[in-house]
Structure 1
Amino acid sequence: MVDLSRARVLMLATDGFEESELFEPRKALLDAGAEVTLASLRPDPITGEKAGRKGESITPDTTIEQIETQGYDALVLPGGVANPDKLRMDKRAVEIVREFFETDRIVAAICHAPWLLIEADVVDGRRATSWPSVRTDLANAGASVLDEPVVVDGKLITSRKPDDIPMFNRAIIDCLAKELAVPA
């Protein structure tokens, strides 16, 4: 088991997140010892979706407006259709994504979450994957799009769908361990 007790991870989500894409990576990171902060557009509980139906809720730790990105080692962006669509319209959420790229830190996005990467204009020349309906958007933004469970391009980790979560989690944990020089 990797010890990520020195790792600080930021997750951004709002209503309409794909339940498994938030809860499973969050649990894997917490189980590895990482400190995980969930930020949303408002402090109220946010509700996920599972198979197109209303899912579980979770109360964010803070709001996106209150986030200062210094000190975080990684950014994790869960998918779902409504979640990244709402977040990409929020100026601060998009700035947060850019700040992680500008400072060469880990960014992991699954399913529809690459919409935030596209909005932040950070995928040109990068290799990435996503949910099939987002792939044309990625290509139009300059990404080299692959249909693989997980694509790692430097510190950018992208994944396609809930079925890929175990490999997505492993890639995030491995990248954090390498970045923090923690024995795997």
Structure 2
Amino acid sequence: MSEHTLQGKHIAFLFTDGVEESELTEPLKAVKDAGGTPTLVSLEVGEIQMMQHDEKGGTIRSDTEASAADPSGFDGLVIPGGVANPDRLRTDAPSVRFVQAFFEADKPVGVICHGPWMLAEADVVRGRTVTSWPSLRTDLQNAGATWVDQEVCVDGTLVTSRNPDDLPAFCAELVKQFAGSGAR
């Protein structure tokens, strides 16, 4: 059992087709193993195609649409990467508003790899220190963030990581942040 319990915590996972499989499934497992209740939020309810880098991976069924999900019902948010995933999400206004609501409520948010594109689109990185896949550096700096190259970066309630190799540190920090989050 984890030293940080997520019993009673409801965590949203926002993703769509093209999500990097390990960046979704490993944080999902970490939340479940710590006793948390995940909800899989996507552009629509149904089977979502995951990727293993540039090859098709498995599929996973989403629970609800971003347009129908109520951010106030969650204690935290995870945005996995994959190149296509955040690129598709950032063009969906309900998904962008969903992300913004977590920052407005100062709830913990974990984002990895290409996922920080959503943070730039949601205009929530200005004045924050973040990490990501290296190709997002300029986009994040242009959005007002300070970009660092490190395994995991914590800025207040925001946790960011660079790539699948960082998943152990990312997942550990996510559970820690979610365990410390206040009541919904």
**The two structures share one fold, judged by TM-score above 0.5:** yes
Per mean C-alpha deviation after superposition, the further-off stretch among 2-11 and 117-126 is 2-11
Runs of 4+ in 1 over 2 A off after TM superposition: 178-181
Question: How high is the TM-score relative to the length of structure 1?
Answer: 0.96
Contact 2:14 2:79 in 1 (8 A): yes
Please give the per-residue CA displacement for 1:57-77, whole angstroms capped at 9, x wherever unaligned: 000011111101112110100
Q: Which amino acid aligns with 1:87?
A: L
- Structure 1: unaligned runs, 5 residues or longer: none
**3-state SS of 2:125 partner:** coil
Aligned match of 1:108: 110
Please give the per-residue CA displacement for 1:53-97, whole angstroms capped at 9, x wherever unaligned: 000100001111110111211010000000000000000000011
Aligned match of 2:122: 120
Q: What is the RMSD computed on CA atoms of the aligned residues? A: 1.1
Q: Distance in 1 between matches of 2:181 and 2:76?
A: 10
Q: Which amino acid aligns with 1:35?
A: T
Per mean C-alpha deviation after superposition, the further-off stretch among 83-92 and 40-49 is 40-49
Contact 2:20 2:80 in 1 (8 A): yes
Please give the per-residue CA displacement for 1:103-144, whole angstroms capped at 9, x wherever unaligned: 110111100000000000010100000000011100111101
Q: How many residues align?
A: 181
Percent sequence identity is 50
Q: Which amino acid aligns with 2:92?
A: D
Q: Distance in 2 between matches of 1:107 and 1:180?
A: 13
Equivalent in 1, 7, 10 of residue 8 of structure 1 = 10
> 1:3 offset after TM fit, Å?
1.9
- Structure 2: unaligned runs, 5 residues or longer: none
Alignment of 1:58-77 (within 5 A): 58-77=60-79
